[in-house]
Structure formats: structure tokens, C-alpha cells
């Protein structure tokens, strides 16, 4: 909705730096890094590593939100994909387990896309169905137990490393690049922003909105499935009750902090990931500070408010335009 | 009633009312007089200023200049609620009551009879039934409002408004979605209220109804008062003149007949129609030819355009391009076949406000090429720069969000969006609506130029002299049907007006 000339990203990057500096004040070793067994360790790496699942979710969510939709089912999709990966991890080769988990994500995305784009159900309701049912499906897959596994190949997704970085971080960077190439390397990005900004006008310009909407929900669920594999690998087991629980809300928050409006339109992949890091930097900071974790939620709310206010020059520009128009 | 109405004191007296939106003058020194006990039709085409006038009178919009007096006392309502308190009630086409509440609850919303703070349901129902009986309406007042027909909902809305001490009742397009029987019922209610001394302003675009019920007519055009007449003393042709035409002398010279060899057909539509939307029509569009669509508001002009562009799906007939039959189920199909459409509602159907001028210009071309074949940034820059220069879009900054441009420049950018796709047929719905005079002339010049380059054009406009100025053929519409066509030599404002009105006369003869 903002009509201001672009001035994007400054608020988010400033907020991330400020939070990291505060973390440094709370915990003097915050910026320390050390190399051990060919992998970097330190609180900063921790923020990246712990933030990876939400960052992945945000990468998919930002596209959905840009089309003026929302996907509440990503947490449940994480549980489904984690359950499948865990169930197959020890009995099948790792590519089979991973492909099956991602395939489940693909089906979930098609389902959401079908409800939203073909049947025209409001996204928040359409994805609520899978949000509720998905966790049930995950429990059916694990038969209500916590399924553990020992396959080192799958465990690598959670605790392995590549080029000195934890595997989840590498996966996020890889997905960011792939998503960026797909979205900005094709015309998809422009068409998503046009359809999110004004669906009627875009349709009258010949934009095929249905296919596009289905594909963003599919991509969002694929990202969630990948996040589910990471979460399962991290604990070497699948907990259908708790895997990805409430993470859809963190993902939405990350997207909003990243400056994408819930009314659709302009979006930024990098800033959505940045939003996920802001959230994780806060979580880590509060843990390190020794405050009880209950504070986490309240502090989170306060920081979110501040970041949104920092972005609000857009709003004040709008107000100024409006006043000018009325004067 | 008409004879006595003349003698009555003005009930509502509006003098010199003006209202501008940015550069656009929506109301310019408008006078309006409503006498007690009369039904006064307020007429005008889209953009004439009817709704602005109503909004200013009822305080929804602030006025720039002028006075509004009720019973000789000047009033300055600042909201619809204040206007209601003063005695002016408005009932809109979309009844703004709560369909899920009962009829009685709707009637007494916010003023329920209570005892010790508890709503007296029985008392409320009794009073509601009594009130509606006064309108000859005997329905179950405990049933939800939404379970009744739109006509009954209207009567309930009117009953509520009148019961809230209204003396002036404004009805904005109340009959738009009613069938003949329901209109009768509404008219009975209106006559009853007028007999009780309430002044009624009736906004509609159904001329038959105007002649059936109104005592007096006020016509607005382009924000100006064109005139106030007794209905009985105003023939239909004169009324249509007032609504559409400028002074005839102004308009006759503009037209230049372009001599053309018989042009090749570009797109043709046979028996093309959609039930309940527009009657089947035949339409042939040729290269290098402008076809104008003329008719009153609601006559089916936009409906024709949307059907031709696939925005509505036809349920009868066939479409063909260059002689070959085509599938036309969606705008996407239309774009693939080289059609373009600049819709009437620029803001909601045209621009994507937050995207840049460049992105808006390349949108249709990109959609036509498909997702997998993106235009490179350099190609986009080149296209945007070319059309900004060609159409003189200002400011000439391709990276500015299009929402910040003026209406005329937005319209040019939308034209650019379609020209970039190198279309064979362009449909323009009110291309000069809401645009200042300078840009107006430029758009018309552009239309002529495009046509000379071999494009087929289908143009809708309420400005008859404009249609006369650029059309090679004119199709006249009425009541959602194509009723006539004028060829090159027959085009003129008088002949178009005659075509619109002749059908009227024929209908009256038929009904009589």
C-alpha cells in the first residue's frame, strides 16, 4: 500500500545490528567465534543455526503473503515431513527418505493451492484446515510415538556442517539463492507483486493468477518440509505433537518485520530472512541474559512494535499525501 | 400533486454548492430545490456529480462553497448521522442494515424500547409491526431481515429512516436490483410518503421510472446544473439531450470523415451474449477503424467491452480473429489473441498503485510472454522509456510508483501497457473519464493516431461529441442490448440521440 519511493531494508538491518549489539552487552562473548573440527562455533553461529527453520518458512511465506494470502499450515507440514523422514530414515537410503518428506510437502502445497486458487476459499481458512489436520496426519504416521532414528545421513541435515558452517545455515543460504533465482530470474516476482497489489487489474492484464497462486503455496510447503527435516534431524527423532509448533506465527512475523505487507504486493526474500534472524537474535539474547524465558514473548512483542514503527515513514508519507490531496 | 407542489415552500434548498477533488471539479455552483411532498428525480450520467451532491448534502463530504437550508434554516451536517438528526435520511442501493438481525431489531437498532436496561422484545415487535403496517407491509418482524427480498429490505430501511424523523428522503438507485412487481411496491411506498409531505430525492438511471413517478427532474452534467424541469413538460428526447449532449452547435463541425478503402476484418463476434448480462449481439471490428459504443449509463456498454475481452464468459455465440474461430474464456485468452482493454475504473481495475510506472507498463506484455520468458531489466527500461516519451507521461520517471501520477498520466501509462503488447484490437472504456482538458485532447489525438496505424478500436464514451469526433461507426445500446448502428455518413450527435430516444418512443408505443 505504501506509495513512497523505495527506501527498503534500512530499518530491518538497523534493528538486527542493534539487537546483536544488545546481545553483546548481555553476553560479552557473543561475537566470539572459534573453529573446532572444521566447523565454526559461537553465539552468532547459533543465531543463524537456530534461526534456520523459521528463515526457511519465511522464504516460502513471503511469497504467499505477497499474493495477499497466508499459510497457517507450515508448522503442521513440518511435523508431517519430519515424521516421514524419521520413519524412513533407518529403513531406506537417505535420498528416499528426503524425497518422500519433500513429496509430502509438495502434496500439502497442492492441497492448499487448490483450496485457495481453484475453490476460492479465503487463505486463512483454507490453510487452517491443514494446520489442524496436518498434525493429526503426522501423529498417524508416527503412531503417536516419538520416532527416533540413527541414520547419520539424515542427522547431517540438523547437525552436520559444510564449508565450516552448520548444515541448516548452508541449506537456508542455498534455498535463498534458489528462490531468488526462480522468483527474480523469471517473471514470477513481478507477476506476484502485481497480483498481490491489485488482483483485478492483473487478471485484466492477462496474468494467469491461479497457476501462480498454486505455485507459491507449493513452494511454501516445500520450504516447510525442508525445515521439518532439519528439525527432526536436530533431535534425531520426530515429535508429531511439538515439531514446528507455532512456528507459522514466527514465520509470518518474520515476513512482516521484513517489510512485506499482509495486504500483498512488494516483497523481499532477503529481508524476510533478515526478519527471521531478528526474531532468533532476540530469543538467543534473552536466553543468554539469564532472564526467565517468559520474558521472551513480551520482549519480542516490544521489539516487533519498534521495528514496525521504524518502517512507518511509509505510513507518514501516505498520511502526508492524503493531507495534501484534501487540502 | 404536481400543481400544488409548485406552490409549496422549498423544503430543502441548496445554493451554489461546489466541491473539488484535487484538480477535478466534481460540483460547480450547483443549485437544487426540493419542495415538501414532491418526488424529485436527480439525473445525470456517471461522473455528473449526483453522488457527490448527495454526499455533500448529507455531510459525508465537506463542501468547498455554498449553502444547504432545510425549512429555511441553514444546516452544516458533518456526518450522515448529523444529517439524519437534522431530518435528511439516505437509503442506498445496497441497504445498509444488518441482514442477520430481525426486522424489528433493524428498525429499532440503537433505540430499542427498554425497561430497567433490558430490551422489551415484545414491545419492540409490536411497534415494528405497527410501523410497517403503515406501509401496507404485513410480515413477520421477528424473522431476519436477510430472509426478505431486496424490495422489502428497502421499505424497511425507508421506514426506519422516516421513523427517525426524516423529512427529506434520498433514495440512491433503489430500484437497480428490483423486478417490476417490487418496483411497484416501492413506488406505492414513495407515493404514500410524498402524500404525507415528505420530500423525496430519487436517483436512478431508469428513465421509464422517472416518468412514472417523479414530479420534477433536475439534471446534472460534469458537475454542473443543466436544468430543473417539471416532468410533465419535458419530452424524453429533450431529457436525453440534457443528460448527454452539449449544445448541438458546438459539436457538429468536429467530425472529419476519413475515406478508407474497405478495411480487412480484425475480430468479429456473432450472436455473442450472456444471459442476464447482455443480449446476444453481432459485432465486427476492422483494422484501422474506430467503433464507438453509445448509450445511457447501464445500457450495456461496459458489459459489451467485458464480454469482448473475455472478462465475462459468453454463454452464446462465437468469436473469431482474422476469420478463425477462437476460444475466449478469460482475459488471458484475449491477451494471447492480441486484444487489450483499458477499463473504466482505472484505480481498481487498471493500475497496480504501488508498482512503478515501468512495471505497470510491461505488465501485460510480460503476462503475454509468460513466466518463463522474463523481460530483462534492460528491455523493461527501454520499453518504459520509449512509451514515456511517445505518450509524454509526466513526470518522466519510470521508477515512480504509478499511484502518485495524475489520472491522465495513469491513463496514458495504461495505454502504454497495451501498446507494448502490439495489440490488434484495443477496447477503451471511458478513456477520458476524470482527466483534465489538456490530457483529454491528447488521448483523443492518440486514439486517431493508433487507428491510422491499423489498430482496431472499440471505444466507449459518455461524451457524445467525443464519440462523433473519432468513430467510423457507432453502435447504439439500450437496456443491455445493441439496438442500432450508424455508419460513417450518418454519425452525428443528433442522430445518436435520436437512435437512443427512438427506441424509447418505440417502447412507449409498444407498452401503450
- Cβ burial A127-152 (10 Å sphere, 16+ → b, else e): bebbbeebbebbbebbeeeebebebe
CB atoms A201 and B348 under 8 Å: yes
* Closest residue on chain A to B400 (Cα): A5
- Looking at residue B254, its pLDDT comes to 46
Q: What is the DSSP letter of B402?
A: G
Q: At what angle do helices B357-369 and A188-197 cross, to 10 degrees?
A: 120
Strand B199-203 relative to strand B265-274, pairing: unpaired
Could you say which of B348, B353, B373 has the minimum Cβ distance to residue A200? B348
Burial (CB count <10 Å: 0-12, 13-18, 19+), residue B295:
buried
Burial (CB count <10 Å: 0-12, 13-18, 19+), residue B73:
exposed
Is there a domain that residue B135 lies in?
A: no
Contacts of B359 in chain A (CB under 8 A): 190, 193-194
Domain end among B421, B447, B478: B421
- Looking at residue B245, its pLDDT comes to 65
Q: Where are the alpha helices (DSSP H) in B64-179?
A: 80-86, 103-107, 121-133, 150-163
Q: Where are the alpha helices (DSSP H) in chain A?
A: 10-26, 43-66, 74-89, 94-113, 123-142, 152-159, 167-185, 188-197, 199-204, 209-235, 247-257, 269-289, 294-311, 313-326
Contacts of B351 in chain A (CB under 8 A): 198, 201
Question: How many folded domains does chain A comprise?
Answer: 1
CB atoms B364 and A206 under 8 Å: yes
Question: Which residues lie below 8 Å from residue B239, measured CB to CB, with a gap of 6+?
Answer: B43, B207, B210, B217, B219, B229
Is there a domain that residue A222 lies in?
A: yes
CB atoms B371 and A185 under 8 Å: no
CATH number, domain with residue B151: 3.40.50.300
The ipTM assigned to this model is 0.82
Examine the domain organization and report whether B447 and B378 are in the same domain: no
Examine the domain organization and report whether B367 and B291 are in the same domain: no
Examine the domain organization and report whether B205 and B314 are in the same domain: no
What is chain B's alpha carbon radius of gyration, rounded to the nearest angstrom? 25
Contacts of B403 in chain A (CB under 8 A): 3
Half-sphere exposure of B57 (CA within 13 A, CB side): 26
Give tens-digit pLDDT for B438-461.
Answer: 666 777 777 778 888 888 999 998
Could you say which of B332, B349, B375 has the minimum Cβ distance to residue A201? B349
Is there a domain that residue B212 lies in?
A: yes
Is there a domain that residue B131 lies in?
A: no
* Closest residue on chain B to A183 (Cα): B371
CB atoms B362 and A2 under 8 Å: no
- Looking at residue A38, its pLDDT comes to 78
Question: How many folded domains does chain B comprise?
Answer: 3
CB atoms A198 and B351 under 8 Å: yes
- Looking at residue B151, its pLDDT comes to 78
Examine the domain organization and report whether B274 and B315 are in the same domain: yes
Residues of chain A with pLDDT under 70: 1-8, 307, 310-320, 324-327
Q: Which domain holds residue A69?
A: 10-317
CB atoms within 10 A of CB B261: 6
Examine the domain organization and report whether B415 and B454 are in the same domain: no
Could you say which of B334, B349, B355 has the minimum Cβ distance to residue A200? B349
Is there a domain that residue A4 lies in?
A: no
Question: Rounded CA gap, A26 and A18, in Å?
Answer: 12
Is there a domain that residue A325 lies in?
A: no
Is there a domain that residue A158 lies in?
A: yes
Examine the domain organization and report whether B157 and B17 are in the same domain: yes
Is there a domain that residue B186 lies in?
A: yes
Half-sphere exposure of B222 (CA within 13 A, CB side): 12
- Compute CA B96 distance to the chain's CA centroid, rounded to the nearest angstrom: 20
Residue to substitute from A8, A68, A187, A218, interface B, most B β-carbons within 10 A: A187
Is there a domain that residue B275 lies in?
A: yes
What is chain A's alpha carbon radius of gyration, rounded to the nearest angstrom? 20
Contacts of B21 in chain A (CB under 8 A): 325
Residue to substitute from A5, A196, A206, A320, interface B, most B β-carbons within 10 A: A206
Examine the domain organization and report whether B57 and B162 are in the same domain: yes
CB atoms A321 and B404 under 8 Å: yes
Shortest Cα distance, chain A CAs vs residue B63, angstroms: 12
Examine the domain organization and report whether B435 and B329 are in the same domain: yes
Examine the domain organization and report whether B193 and B218 are in the same domain: yes
* Closest residue on chain A to B341 (Cα): A204
Handedness of CA A106, A108, A111, A116 (dihedral sign): negative
**How many Cβ pairs within 8 Å bridge chains A and B?**
97
From residue B483, give the alpha-carbon distance in Å to each of B59, B203, B504.
Answer: 41, 25, 11
Question: Rounded CA gap, B451 and B425, in Å?
Answer: 10
- Looking at residue A3, its pLDDT comes to 40
- Helix (H, G, I), strand (E, B), or coil: what is residue A307? helix
CB atoms A198 and B374 under 8 Å: no
Is there a domain that residue B55 lies in?
A: yes
- Helix (H, G, I), strand (E, B), or coil: what is residue B372? coil
Examine the domain organization and report whether B204 and B277 are in the same domain: no
* Closest residue on chain B to A190 (Cα): B359
Question: Which residues lie below 8 Å from residue A122, measured CB to CB, with a gap of 6+?
Answer: A116
Is there a domain that residue A21 lies in?
A: yes
Is there a domain that residue B137 lies in?
A: no
Q: Which domain holds residue B276?
A: 264-338+423-512
Is there a domain that residue B218 lies in?
A: yes
Examine the domain organization and report whether B361 and B415 are in the same domain: yes
Contacts of B428 in chain A (CB under 8 A): none
- Helix (H, G, I), strand (E, B), or coil: what is residue B403? helix
The CA-based angle B166-B172-B173, given to 5 degrees, is: 140
Residues of chain B with pLDDT under 70: 1-9, 23, 46-47, 176-177, 245-262, 434-440, 502-512
Contacts of A1 in chain B (CB under 8 A): 353-354
Question: In degrees rounded to 5, what are phi and psi of residue B89?
Answer: -115, 145
Contacts of B371 in chain A (CB under 8 A): 186-188, 191, 212
Is there a domain that residue A115 lies in?
A: yes
Examine the domain organization and report whether B315 and B330 are in the same domain: yes
Amino acid at each position: 500500500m505504501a506509495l513512497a519511493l523505495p527506501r527498503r531494508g534500512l530499518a530491518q538491518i538497523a534493528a538486527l545490528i542493534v539487537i546483536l549489539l544488545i546481545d553483546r552487552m548481555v553476553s560479552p562473548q557473543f561475537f566470539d567465534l572459534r573453529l573446532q573440527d572444521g566447523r565454526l562455533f559461537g553465539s552468532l553461529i547459533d543465531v543463524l543455526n537456530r534461526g534456520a527453520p523459521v528463515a526457511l518458512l519465511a522464504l516460502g511465506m513471503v511469497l504467499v503473503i505477497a499474493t495477499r494470502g497466508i499459510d497457517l499450515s507450515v508448522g503442521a507440514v513440518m511435523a508431517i515431513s519430519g515424521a516421514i523422514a524419521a520413519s524412513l530414515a533407518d529403513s531406506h537410503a537417505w535420498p528416499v527418505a528426503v524425497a518422500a518428506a519433500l513429496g509430502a510437502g509438495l502434496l500439502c502445497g497442492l492441497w492448499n493451492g487448490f483450496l485457495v486458487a481453484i475453490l476460492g476459499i479465503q487463505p486463512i481458512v483454507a490453510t487452517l484446515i491443514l494446520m489442524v489436520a496436518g498434525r493429526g496426519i503426522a501423529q498417524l504416521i508416527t503412531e503417536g510415538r516419538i520416532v527416533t532414528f540413527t541414520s547419520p545421513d539424515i542427522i547431517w541435515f540438523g547437525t552436520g556442517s559444510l564449508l565450516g558452517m552448520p548444515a541448516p545455515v548452508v541449506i537456508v543460504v542455498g534455498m535463498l539463492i534458489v528462490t531468488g533465482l526462480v522468483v527474480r530470474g523469471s517473471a514470477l516476482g513481478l507477476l506476484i507483486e502485481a497480483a498481490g497489489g491489485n488482483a483485478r487489474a492483473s487478471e485484466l492484464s492477462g496474468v494467469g493468477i491461479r497457476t501462480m497462486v498454486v505455485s507459491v503455496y507449493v513452494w511454501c510447503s516445500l520450504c516447510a518440509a525442508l525445515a521439518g527435516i532439519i528439525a527432526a534431524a536436530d533431535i534425531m527423532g520426530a515429535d508429531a505433537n511439538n515439531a514446528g509448533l507455532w512456528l507459522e506465527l514466527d514465520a509470518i512475523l518474520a515476513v512482516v518485520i521484513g517489510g512485506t505487507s499482509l495486504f500483498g504486493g512488494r516483497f523481499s526474500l532477503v529481508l524476510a530472512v533478515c526478519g527471521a534472524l531478528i526474531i532468533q537474535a532476540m530469543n538467543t539474547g534473552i536466553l543468554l541474559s539469564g532472564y526467565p524465558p517468559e520474558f521472551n514473548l513480551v520482549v519480542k512483542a516490544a521489539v516487533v512494535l519498534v521495528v514496525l514503527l521504524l518502517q512507518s515513514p511509509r505510513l507518514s508519507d501516505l498520511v502526508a499525501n492524503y493531507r495534501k490531496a484534501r487540502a | 400533486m404536481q400543481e400544488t407542489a409548485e406552490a409549496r415552500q422549498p423544503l430543502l434548498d441548496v445554493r451554489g454548492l461546489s466541491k473539488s477533488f484535487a484538480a477535478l471539479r466534481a460540483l460547480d455552483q450547483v443549485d437544487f430545490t426540493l419542495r415538501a411532498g414532491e418526488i424529485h428525480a436527480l439525473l445525470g450520467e456517471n461522473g455528473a456529480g449526483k453522488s457527490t451532491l448527495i454526499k455533500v448534502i448529507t455531510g459525508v463530504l465537506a463542501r468547498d462553497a455554498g449553502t444547504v437550508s432545510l425549512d429555511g434554516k441553514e444546516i452544516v451536517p458533518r456526518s450522515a448521522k448529523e444529517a439524519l438528526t437534522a431530518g435528511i435520511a439516505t437509503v442506498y442501493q445496497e441497504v445498509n442494515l444488518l441482514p442477520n438481525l430481525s426486522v424489528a431489531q433493524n428498525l429499532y437498532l440503537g433505540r430499542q424500547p427498554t425497561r430497567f436496561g433490558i430490551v422489551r422484545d415484545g414491545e419492540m415487535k409490536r411497534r415494528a409491526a405497527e410501523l410497517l403496517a403503515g406501509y401496507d407491509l404485513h410480515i413477520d418482524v421477528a424473522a431476519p431481515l436477510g430472509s426478505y427480498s431486496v424490495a422489502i429490505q428497502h421499505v424497511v430501511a425507508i421506514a426506519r429512516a422516516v421513523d427517525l424523523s426524516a423529512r427529506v428522503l434520498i433514495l440512491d438507485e433503489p430500484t437497480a436490483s428490483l423486478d417490476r412487481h417490487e418496483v411497484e411496491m416501492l413506488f406505492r411506498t414513495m407515493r404514500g410518503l410524498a402524500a404525507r409531505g415528505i420530500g423525496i430525492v430519487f436517483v436512478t438511471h431508469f428513465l421509464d421510472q422517472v416518468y412514472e413517478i417523479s414530479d420534477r427532474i433536475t439534471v446534472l452534467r460534469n458537475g454542473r446544473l443543466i436544468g430543473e424541469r417539471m416532468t410533465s413538460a419535458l419530452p424524453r428526447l429533450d431529457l436525453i439531450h440534457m443528460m448527454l449532449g452539449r449544445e448541438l452547435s458546438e459539436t457538429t463541425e468536429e467530425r472529419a470523415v476519413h475515406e478508407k478503402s474497405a478495411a480487412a476484418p480484425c475480430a468479429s463476434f456473432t450472436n455473442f451474449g450472456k444471459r442476464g448480462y447482455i443480449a446476444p449481439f453481432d459485432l465486427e471490428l476492422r483494422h484501422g477503424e474506430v467503433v464507438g459504443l453509445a448509450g445511457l449509463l447501464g445500457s450495456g456498454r461496459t458489459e459489451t467491452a467485458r464480454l469482448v475481452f473475455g472478462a465475462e464468459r459468453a454463454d452464446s455465440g462465437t468469436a473469431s480473429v482474422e476469420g478463425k474461430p477462437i476460444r475466449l474464456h478469460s482475459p488471458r485468452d484475449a491477451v494471447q489473441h492480441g486484444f487489450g482493454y483499458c477499463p473504466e475504473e482505472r484505480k481498481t481495475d487498471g493500475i497496480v498503485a504501488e508498482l512503478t510506472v515501468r512495471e505497470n507498463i510491461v505488465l501485460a506484455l510480460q503476462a503475454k510472454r509468460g513466466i518463463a520468458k522474463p523481460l530483462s531489466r534492460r528491455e523493461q527500461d527501454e520499453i518504459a522509456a520509449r512509451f514515456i516519451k511517445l505518450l509524454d507521461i509526466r513526470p518522466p520517471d519510470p521508477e515512480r510508483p504509478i499511484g502518485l501520477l495524475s489520472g491522465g498520466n495513469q491513463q496514458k501509462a495504461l495505454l502504454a501497457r497495451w501498446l507494448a503488447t502490439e495489440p490488434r484490437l484495443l477496447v477503451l472504456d471511458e478513456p477520458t473519464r476524470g482527466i483534465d482538458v489538456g490530457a483529454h485532447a491528447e488521448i483523443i489525438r492518440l486514439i486517431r493516431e493508433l487507428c491510422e496505424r491499423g489498430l482496431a478500436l472499440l471505444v466507449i464514451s459518455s461524451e457524445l461529441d467525443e464519440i462523433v469526433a473519432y468513430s467510423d461507426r457507432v453502435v447504439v445500446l439500450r437496456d443491455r442490448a445493441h439496438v442500432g448502428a450508424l455508419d460513417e455518413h450518418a454519425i452525428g450527435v443528433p442522430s445518436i440521440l435520436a437512435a437512443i430516444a427512438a427506441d424509447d418512443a418505440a417502447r412507449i408505443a409498444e407498452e401503450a
